[in-house]
Amino acid sequence: MTILVTGATGRVGNHVVEQLVKRNAQVRVLTRDASKARFPAGVEVVEGEFLDLAALRAACEGVRTLFLLNAVTGDEFTQAIIALNIAREAGIERVVYQSVFDADAAVNVPHFAVKSGAERMLAQMGFSATILRPAYFIDNEAMVKDVIFEHGVYPMPIGSKGIAMVDVRDIAEIAAIELIRRDQATDKLPIDTINIVGPDTLTGPQIAAIWSEILERPIAYGGDDPSGFEKNMASFMPTWMAYEMRLMAQRYVSEGMIPQTGDVERLTDLLGRPLHTYRAFAKQLASHL
């Protein structure tokens, strides 16, 4: 049966499509601009978005399993509510949903609270769902590479609790594995939640030390105060989103993103390989200098 992938042109969704095609799945994608979409041969493309109900209904027709990924937007929760209602209306009961690590605890961070609400919807509406809860994306670091390379400062206010940053390729492959498992199941499977983390839990100073080793010069940690981070984010994104990023950073400092016992081992078993590391990503980013 067909698997529908939303968010298919994004950093995670693009890899999800690739992983599903590798596994010979029948894949359909929903994308805003089909003319700009580049997908492997055989992938069916439906042009539209979550708030375009006609397009969303067309995308869901004949689908058995849904990968639901809502971008961080001002109407993210509306999009999630509509997507799950239309999916249910279309007879889709199998879902892999990309949430966020500790979604139910970080209630003051808007996109965490949204994803916690969507998780509750999945349970209360009777979906057979895998909820993926990834930690902070390693590849977000590309946004601050110029500050690291040109100013010798690692600016992300990570704090001293530690974050197990995750590579988007690991998120996507686990998503594909779960989509196939759900799609091929003969019976309705119970809801399952998977924390998706990286293999190393790193603090702000430890990350700065990694960069110092790779670049062979001192890289300082910028500190735990998120005000400068918010100001920098506001230079290239809406101010409301920059403030949301500040709230997220404050949670990093106060709580971290620390794997539970067995998380790393579970992911390694699912993938059949080691998880991608922060150091490997940093080396690759530095290689383009």
Residue 208 structure tokens: 């700065």
How many CB atoms neighbour CB 54 within 10 A?
A: 8
- Give CA–CA dist 120/80, Å, rounded: 12
Quote the strand ranges of 69-156, DSSP E: 94-98, 128-134, 153-154
DSSP 8-state symbol, 72: S
DSSP 8-state symbol, 144: G
How many CB atoms neighbour CB 115 within 10 A?
A: 26
Domains of the chain: 2-135+168-195 (3.40.50.720)
If you search the block for the tokens 């979409």, which residue do you land on?
Answer: 37
For 255, residues 6+ apart whose C-beta sits below 8 A from its C-beta are: 102, 105, 106, 161
pLDDT, tens digit, for every residue of 237-274? Answer: 999 999 999 999 999 999 999 999 999 999 999 999 99
pLDDT, tens digit, for every residue of 219-238? Answer: 999 999 988 889 888 998 99
Query: Mean pLDDT by 10-residue block, N- to C-terminus, for the chain (289 residues)?
Result: 93 96 97 85 94 97 97 93 97 97 92 96 97 96 93 95 98 98 96 98 98 98 91 90 93 95 98 98 92
Look up the pTM and report it: 0.95
